[in-house]
A and B are shown apart, each in its own frame.
Chain A
Amino acid sequence: MMDDLFDSAVNFEEVHFKKGYDEGYSHGLVAGKDEGKQVGLKIGFEVGEELGFYSGCIHIWTSAIQIDPRCFSSRAKTAIAQMKDLIQKYPLMDPEDLQVQEIMDSLRLKFKMICSLLHVKLHYNGYPAEANDTQF
């Protein structure tokens, strides 16, 4: 039997689709990895910056307590100690640890609470802004 005269024509679309897919896939592997690296660098820097900001605050507050143990209320001192523990618990070298977001949320909450306890208005500049739609 003779080869079907129309074989190549019938497969034309399929062959080209496959070819395009393979090219796109290998290109995507390279570009995606690169893009991922950029996002990782950016997010990693942001997380590091925020953690650094909190560490700095804790450092100053802890030093103040060492100089004058009565400078803050006992509740404030407890909250500062708890925040210090949270920072130490943060899995800095393991970004895929599921605790990451949970600890960051707790840190932000503790920070707000300590600011209220110390009657200071501190604000981390990189703190994600919220949409400002009014609701009653």
Chain B
Amino acid sequence: MERLELKEVQKLEGHTDRVWSLDWNPATGHAGIPLVFASCSGDKTVRIWEQNLSTNLFSCKATLEETHTRTVRSCAWSPSGKLLATASFDATTAIWENVGGEFECVSTLEGHENEVKSVSWNASGTLLATCSRDKSVWIWEVQPGNEFECVSVLQGHTQDVKMVRWHPTEDILFSCSYDNNIKVWADEGDSDDWQCVQTLGEPNNGHTSTVWALSFNASGDKMVTCSDDLTLKVWETEHVGMQSGGGFAPWRHVCTLTGYHDRTIFSVHWSRGGIFASGAADDAIRLFVENNESQVDGPLYKLLLKKEKAHDMDINYVQWSHGEKPLLASASDDGTIKVWDLVS
């Protein structure tokens, strides 16, 4: 078997507080466009990093500051890569537009009562979802002229909502929370009638503590979730999206990956190539892949590698870049971001 290694390409310094999250710009990294990602931090700023095509090294191209007054917890590029949404503990979500290399704050979404924890665009870039410590999930519609209108306020979680993610192809929203549940939301009627269509919790082999993050595989029929209960769980659905009859194909538990982590797992991300990475409070990055060794009753997923001491402190976020040969980026409480290459 070939020996794989997660090689540190670069350590990026610049943020002056813990780095919470990052997002690769989906419109970069192909057709000669250099890779770009955004990172956000407890220092209240967002930084834009761009790869130099000749050296392959990243440098900070812009710092977005003086808009958020508290920690910026989450950031997300629109599918076109033109807009960047940033969610902050100051209870607002800001929308930034890249105007000739300069980032301008073109809109501020207000409505949450307190800390906004996560933000996500749907596949077509027409809807935005945000979630907050106020236990609610908000859906916003993009309107002409960088206007955003609230479509629906979803209440169902009984605690802090940690993350929202849209399905990669369908307008179905997923949220996970401090209440240990994952909720699935869909527009069942035709007029802003968003409802919770499924709750994945303890009775359905769900998590027994805070669910921190979720991520989908490339085809969107599987989802992986990570938790404070030290496990990763894989879920699947028979049919992606709403069925023709209008019914919703529910998600079911496939397997639980236990025994690999001994501290909280804060982040998980599934690459297009089928490898999912986890970032945890033990400062390590682990990679998992489907187990093809055809043992009967063998584990469905196996640990590909574990990178100990990937950072000096908790790893808050990991994400694979887009494209053929993805890079992995990790964000940590140690205030740095690292870019990794999976090499054999």
Number of interface residues of A (CB under 8 A): 15
Please give the distance in Å from A19's CB to the nearest CB on chain B: 48
Category for how many chain B residues contact A: 10 to 19
Residue on A nearest B212 in the bound complex, by CB? A136
Take A109-B136, A113-B150 as given contacts and tell me if A75 and B111 are in contact as well, using a CB distance cutoff of 8 Å. no
Among A112-134, those with CB < 8 Å from B are 112-113, 115-117, 119, 121, 130
> Is A85 interfacial (CB-CB < 8 Å)?
no
Residue on B nearest A119 in the bound complex, by CB? B110
Distance of A121 Cα from B153 Cα, bound (Å): 17
**List of A residues within 8 angstroms of B155 by Cβ:** 105, 109
Asked whether B160 lies within 8 Å of A135 as measured between CB atoms, the reply is yes
**List of B residues within 8 angstroms of A119 by Cβ:** 110
Take A75-B192, A135-B133 as given contacts and tell me if A112 and B151 are in contact as well, using a CB distance cutoff of 8 Å. no
Asked whether A112 lies within 8 Å of B153 as measured between CB atoms, the reply is yes
> Is A73 interfacial (CB-CB < 8 Å)?
yes
> Is B113 interfacial (CB-CB < 8 Å)?
yes
Asked whether B111 lies within 8 Å of A113 as measured between CB atoms, the reply is yes
In the A-B complex, the 7 residue pairs with the smallest Cβ-Cβ separation, listed nearest first, are A116-B111, A116-B150, A113-B153, A109-B153, A113-B150, A117-B150, A135-B160
- CB pairs A–B below 8 angstroms (26 shown): A73-B149, A75-B149, A75-B150, A75-B151, A105-B155, A109-B155, A112-B111, A112-B113, A113-B111, A113-B150, A113-B152, A113-B153, A115-B111, A116-B109, A116-B110, A116-B111, A116-B138, A116-B150, A117-B149, A117-B150, A119-B110, A121-B110, A130-B113, A130-B114, A135-B133, A135-B178
